[in-house]
């Protein structure tokens, strides 16, 4: 992969293209953002690695109130060229973080009367505040779980994550640490191989040490050969314990 970062306008156009395809509604580039239907938009955040395949993406639910409605995340992709790596990064983001956020947008556009809580469930799953597999006191929108790796067990961590309720294990380390009582984005990225392992929790884009330690302590697979990683994203909507 070459080491030249793509222009912001090019990256935003790629983001808009993927979001348009995912939603069936037009997303366009203008005013320094990928602008979607209604008040939604995506802007590029400050890059903290310098890698051309790394993106900081800020999803803004209401561009008129970015301070209260922005969900920040970062993602890295891989490929033979920078364009391939950026495109892969956007796909990973859309399959995890984006799926939870698009689910929230779908609800905002109109609750589904056919479901108990009104959420359509088209893009992501849901856990009620009292669900034993959820986050106590918060409604959680659970995005997709993406995995990648090498070798025979390349999907071992992803398969474990699909079959394991992460939120009850993470909640004790995360609860009461967010700084606001609504719209908390929690990213989990973990896995590795014989050369070492990674376990990282980010809450609203910032590294969360206690959450990362709780994730590292779980019994997800450690492949004897090759590599296996998983990534997922959970959007906590509102603290309902107050």
Residue after which a domain boundary falls, among 109, 137, 162? 109
Lowest mean pLDDT among 17-21, 84-88, 117-121: 117-121
Residue after which a domain boundary falls, among 109, 142, 163? 109
Q: Are 101 and 200 contacting, i.e. CB atoms less than 8 angstroms apart?
A: no
**What's the domain range around 169?**
125-239
> Across residues 182-197, what is the average pLDDT?
93
Q: Are 73 and 97 contacting, i.e. CB atoms less than 8 angstroms apart?
A: yes
Q: Are 158 and 228 contacting, i.e. CB atoms less than 8 angstroms apart?
A: yes
Q: What is the pLDDT of residues 32-79, one digit of tens each?
A: 999 998 899 999 998 777 789 999 999 999 999 998 899 999 999 989
Q: What is the pLDDT of residues 115-165, one digit of tens each?
A: 545 555 678 888 999 999 999 999 999 999 999 999 999 999 999 999 999
Question: Is the same domain home to 83 and 32?
Answer: yes
Question: Is the same domain home to 145 and 195?
Answer: yes
Q: How many domains does the chain have?
A: 2
The gap between the terminal CA atoms of the chain, to the nearest Å, is 50
Lookup result for tokens 């995360």? 174
Question: Is the same domain home to 131 and 213?
Answer: yes
Whole-angstrom CA distances from 234 to 15, 131, 139, 152, 208 are: 20, 15, 10, 28, 14
**Residues β-bridged to residue 80:** none
Question: Is the same domain home to 69 and 170?
Answer: no
Question: Is the same domain home to 61 and 90?
Answer: yes
Residue after which a domain boundary falls, among 85, 109, 133? 109
> Across residues 160-188, what is the average pLDDT?
95
**Residues β-bridged to residue 20:** none
Q: Are 178 and 203 contacting, i.e. CB atoms less than 8 angstroms apart?
A: yes
**Residues β-bridged to residue 189:** 200, 231
Tell me how far the alpha carbon of residue 44 is from its chain's centroid: 15
Question: Is the same domain home to 29 and 93?
Answer: yes
Residue 116 lies in a domain: no
CB atoms within 10 A of CB 232: 24
Question: Is the same domain home to 40 and 75?
Answer: yes
DSSP code of 106?
H
Question: Is the same domain home to 174 and 202?
Answer: yes
Question: Is the same domain home to 155 and 70?
Answer: no
Q: Are 42 and 58 contacting, i.e. CB atoms less than 8 angstroms apart?
A: yes
DSSP code of 97?
I
Residue 2 lies in a domain: no
Structure tokens of 64? 């008129």
φ, ψ dihedrals at 173, nearest 5°: -80, -25
pTM over 0.85: yes
Find the DSSP H helices in the chain: 8-23, 66-69, 82-93, 99-109, 156-162, 167-174, 209-216
Rounded CA-CA distance 202/170 in Å is 12
Q: Which of 99, 74, 62, 45 is nearest to 203 (CA)?
A: 74
Q: What SS3 class is residue 96?
A: helix
Residue 146 lies in a domain: yes
Question: Is the same domain home to 152 and 182?
Answer: yes
- What percent of the chain shows pLDDT beyond 90? 75
Most confident of 104-113, 120-129, 179-188: 179-188
Residue 185 lies in a domain: yes
């Amino acid at each position: 992969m070459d080491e030249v970062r793509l222009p912001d306008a090019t990256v935003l156009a790629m983001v808009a293209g993927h979001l348009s395809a995912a939603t069936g509604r037009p997303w366009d580039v203008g005013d320094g953002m990928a602008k979607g239907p209604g008040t939604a938009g995506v802007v590029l955040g400050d890059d903290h690695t310098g890698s051309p395949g790394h993106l900081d993406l800020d999803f803004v639910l209401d561009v008129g109130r970015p301070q209260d409605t922005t969900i920040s995340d970062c993602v890295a992709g891989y490929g033979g060229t920078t364009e391939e790596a950026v495109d892969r990064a956007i796909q990973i983001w859309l399959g995890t973080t984006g799926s939870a956020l698009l689910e929230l947008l779908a609800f905002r556009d109109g609750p589904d009367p056919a479901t108990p809580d009104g959420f359509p469930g088209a893009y992501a799953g849901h856990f009620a505040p009292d669900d034993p597999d959820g986050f106590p006191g918060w409604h959680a929108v659970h995005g997709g779980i993406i995995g990648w790796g090498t070798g025979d067990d390349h999907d071992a961590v992803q398969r474990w994550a699909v079959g394991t309720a992460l939120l009850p294990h993470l909640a004790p380390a995360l609860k009461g640490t967010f700084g606001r009582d609504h719209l908390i984005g929690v990213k989990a990225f973990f896995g590795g191989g014989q050369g070492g392992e990674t376990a990282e929790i980010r809450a609203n884009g910032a590294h969360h040490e206690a959450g990362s330690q709780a994730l590292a302590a779980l019994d997800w697979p450690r492949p004897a050969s090759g590599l296996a990683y998983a990534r997922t994203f959970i959007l906590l909507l509102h603290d309902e314990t107050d």
